[in-house]
Amino acid sequence: MRQHEIGGGARGTGGGARRVVFSPVDNRARVDTVVRRIGDAIELGLLADGEQLPGESELAAQLGVSTVTLREALMALRQQGLVTTRRGRGGGSFVSLPEVPADDRLRVRLRGWSTEELRDLGDHWAALSGAAARLAAQRTEPEDLHPLRRTAEELAHAEETATRSRLYGRFHVELAAAAQSARLTREQVALQSEVGALLCLVLGSGEYREEVADRHRSVISAVQDGAHESAGTLAERCVRESTARLVAVRLTL
Amino acid sequence: MGWSPGQVHSAAATLDTDAEAWVASQVGGALEAVFETVAATRHDTAALLAKTAAQGRRPASADLAALRPGLHQRLTRQELVSGVGFVAAPGLLTDVPAWLEWWQTGADGDVRPLLLDLDPGHSAYSDYTHWDWFALPRDTGRRAVAGPYVDYLCSDEYSLTLSAPVETEGRFAGVAAADVYLRHFEAAVLPLLRRLPRPAHLVNARGRVAASADPAHLAGSLTKGPDFGELLTEGTPAEHAGLRLVPCHRIPLVLVLA
């Protein structure tokens, strides 16, 4: 889990930016961030059903939030049915996957995002993947494309929605690595930890899975041909289409 | 007097050639030192696997803990190295499907283990067998230099990984390996490259720039044209379209002079 996402990285030196730095931190936003982070990890199977979470003070320290914030977040997660708390010896907070279908739970999570936030997430993602595809087209030789091909083919055949979402994310991480950029790769990994669970909502359809696999294949072809502009445009279109679908689902909620 | 411009030219050319050969051998030497740590890990691991085989049992992940003192020592002694370890071939160990006994140097110099989620049900990155640092030694039976590449599995760094196959009872058991972050490699070889009279850079067998004192060829970019793989097989210097190409002794890197 990455601590730097909490509290924002306000490095600007202007008066406005400084005021933001020293203004009281919005506790609500911190609670939401923790709820989102732990909830995503549960949806993606990174935290298993029945697994015990670290103790409150330890978990709060790891996430860089106060124990008060953490308690509020745990309360919200209990309300969503993703965490249960047992008292006494051997007690603590445990991951619990409720009986409610995963899609319904994910819709509850998506409701935590405004369409503006989703649009911004899509912009960020398109900027990363578009830049990565352009650079990869200039810096890639055929053998670098093996991982991307393998991922596109695995996605085309993946049955489980969570697997599809992980492979979708892996493709974009591998694309950033093919660009030979450690920074773009780290950014893409961090972004996938946010968007991964949500993507499950649009990748359930076999038809759309096929479309994404095709879009990935066309990115690979453009990268292979050294056609950097079209590689960038194709990568951007691929992720914009996915975020547009997420926004469409959000608007039905 | 009794000299000709031709002679002076050839004397200068000899000096240049000597300098190239010297730089190529120094670069080779820097990575040979890293390969020595890989060889030590390989030796320790092979001995450990032979011991469990002699006891008539298959190894488990806990057995690999015996490698730690050696790994920690290599990590602190070899300045160029930021990660060392043994990566088991899937199926080698009785208790886990896959395993990396891997140790890294932290930002503040501390030594810490790499803990990866290798459960395919959780992670999209659980299968490490297609990475060059694993596949090359497995497929060729020889030591290999992988990269430069973005290592998003272990370090998040732009790296070179040097590795060698480990065998037990005549079968491939995994690889011993060491990570060299590219920024450290550059710091080690840049003073050498700058001594040369022409702009110089180093490429791997696929033409990927690993370090450069030539602003026209930056690390990570591709130098296209020459067949560097073939040049490395031949092992002798060559010319290509105005470029001077000098293979580094026994190391799959080529010194390129523009």
**Per-residue pLDDT tens over the stretch A37-80:** 888 777 777 777 788 888 888 888 878 888 888 888 888 888 87
Cα–Cα distances in angstroms (integers) from residue A12 to residues A6, A23, A30, A145, A184, in the given order: 17, 14, 21, 38, 21
Q: Are residues B217 and B161 part of one domain?
A: no
Assess contact for A201 and A168: CB atoms under 8 A.
no
Residues B197-223 pLDDT 10s: 999 999 999 999 999 999 999 999 999
Contact A46 B117 (CB under 8 A): yes
Residues of chain A positioned with their CB less than 8 A from the CB of B117? 46
Whether B158 is covered by a domain: the verdict is yes
pLDDT one-digit tens code per residue, A163-174: 899 999 999 999
Pick from B150, B206, B207: CB nearest A185: B150
Domain end position, chosen among B181, B202, B220: B181
**What is the domain extent for residue B198?**
184-257
Decide if A129 touches B, using CB distance below 8 A.
Answer: no
* Domain count across chain B: 2
pLDDT of residue B90: 96
pLDDT at A10: 33
Considering chain A, tell me which residue range(s) the CATH 1.10.10.10 domain(s) occupy. 3-99
In this prediction, residue B6 carries a pLDDT of: 46
Subunit contact B221:A138, Cβ cutoff 8 A: yes
CB contact under 8 A, A141 and B220: no
**Residue ranges of A 15-74 with Cβ closer than 8 A to chain B:** 44-46, 48
Q: Is A6 or B175 the better-scoring residue by pLDDT?
A: B175
Residue B129 lies in a domain: yes
Tell if the CB–CB gap between A173 and B130 is shorter than 8 Å: no
The CATH code for residues A105-252 is 1.20.120.530
pLDDT recorded at residue A1: 33
CA distance A28 to chain B (A): 30
What is the tens place of the pLDDT at every residue in A132-158?
999 999 998 888 899 999 999 999 999
Orientation of helix B68-77 relative to helix B5-54, angle to 10°: 160
- A141–B117 CB contact, under 8 Å: no
Q: Contact at 8 Å (CB) between B166 and B46?
A: yes
Q: Within this chain, do residues B204 and B175 fall inside the same structural domain, yes or no? A: no
Q: Do residues B55 and B89 share a domain? A: yes
Among B122, B124, B130, beta carbon nearest to A167: B124
The CATH number of whichever domain residue B103 belongs to comes to 3.30.450.20
Q: Judge if B235 and B122 occupy the same domain.
A: no
Within this chain, do residues B109 and B211 fall inside the same structural domain, yes or no? Answer: no
Q: Do A181 and B117 touch (CB under 8 A)?
A: no
Q: Residue A214 above 80 pLDDT?
A: yes
- What percentage of residues in chain A have a pLDDT greater than 90? 50
Please report which confidence band the pLDDT of residue B3 belongs to, taking 50, 70 and 90 as the band edges. very low
Rounded CA gap, A138 and B250, in Å? 29
In this predicted structure, what is the pLDDT of residue A13? 37
Closest approach of B225 to chain A, Cα-based (Å): 12
Q: Quick one: which of B33, B81, B31 has its CA closest to B202?
A: B31
For residue A101, the model assigns a pLDDT of 65
B162 is a domain residue? yes
pLDDT at A15 over 60: no
With beta carbons less than 8 A apart as the criterion, state whether A171 and A146 touch. Answer: no
For chain B, the average pLDDT equals 92
Structural domain contains residue B16: no
Residues B167-183 pLDDT 10s: 999 999 999 999 999 99
Backbone angle region of A169, left / alpha / beta, with phi > 0 → left and psi within -120 to 50 → alpha: alpha
Residue that terminates a domain, selected from B160, B181, B202: B181
**Does the beta-carbon distance from A177 to B130 stay under 8 Å?**
no
Say which residue, A195 or A6, is predicted with more confidence.
A195
Closest Cα to residue B101, out of B89, B118, B84, B117? B84
Q: Kindly state the DSSP code that residue B125 receives in the 8-state scheme.
A: T
* pLDDT (mean) for B58-80: 95
- Asked whether residue B9 is assigned to any structural domain, the reply reads no
The answer to whether the CB atoms of A141 and B130 lie below 8 A apart is: no
Mean pLDDT of A220-242: 97
Span of A81-90, A148-157, B19-28, B148-157 with lowest mean pLDDT: A81-90
Nearest CA in chain A to B210: A180
- Across the interface, which of B124, B157, B220 has its CB nearest the CB of A166? B124
Within 10 A of B96 (CB to CB), how many other CB atoms are there? 13
More confident residue, A162 or A181: A181
Residue B246 lies inside a defined structural domain of this protein: yes
**Chain A residues touching B207 at Cβ < 8 A:** 141
B148 shares its domain with B73: yes
Q: How far is A16 from chain B (nearest CA, A)?
A: 32
Domain with CATH 1.20.120.530 in chain A: 105-252
B249 and B128, same domain (yes or no): no
- Please classify residue B240 by burial: count the beta carbons closer than 10 Å to its beta carbon, then call 0-12 exposed, 13-18 middle and 19+ buried: middle
- Which amino acid is located at A140 in the chain? T
Query: Of A44, A163, A180, which to mutate for an interface test with B (greatest number of B Cβ within 10 Å)?
Result: A180
Reported as a single tens digit per residue, the pLDDT across B92-148 is: 999 999 999 999 998 788 898 888 878 777 778 889 999 999 999 999 999 999 999
* Architecture of the structural domain at A3-99: Orthogonal Bundle (1.10)
Mean of pLDDT values over A170-181:
96
Looking at the domain assignment, is residue B24 inside a domain? no
Per-residue tokens: B199: 């702009």
The reply to whether B49 and B36 lie within a common domain is: yes
Residue % of chain B over a pLDDT of 90: 83
Q: What is the CATH number of the domain that holds B232?
A: 3.30.450
A-chain residues near B125 (CB < 8 A): 170
Residue B148 and residue B230 share a domain: no
pLDDT: which is higher, A145 or A25? A145
Residues of A in contact with B150 (CB under 8 A): 176-177, 180-182, 185
A211 vs B3: which has the higher pLDDT: A211
Rg, chain B, Cα only = 21
Instruction: Return the higher-pLDDT residue of A83 and A150.
Output: A150
Query: Distance from A26 to chain B by nearest Cα, in Å?
Result: 31
In this complex, do A180 and B148 lie within 8 Å of one another by their Cβ atoms?
Answer: yes
Q: Which of A107-111, A178-182, B78-82 has the lowest mean pLDDT?
A: A107-111
Q: Do B124 and A170 touch (CB under 8 A)?
A: yes
Residue of A nearest to B120 (CA): A163
- Looking at per-residue pLDDT, the higher value among A47 and B20 belongs to B20
| B238 in the same domain as B156 | no
Using the 3D structure, point to which of B161, B181, B201 is the last residue of a domain. B181
Asked if residue B155 and residue B229 are part of one domain, the reply reads no
The reply to whether B67 and B173 lie within a common domain is: yes
Is A150 in contact with B156 (Cβ distance < 8 A)? no
Does residue B20 lie in a domain region? no
CB within 8 Å of A21: residues ≥ 6 apart: A10
Would the CB atoms of B222 and A139 count as touching at under 8 Å?
Answer: yes
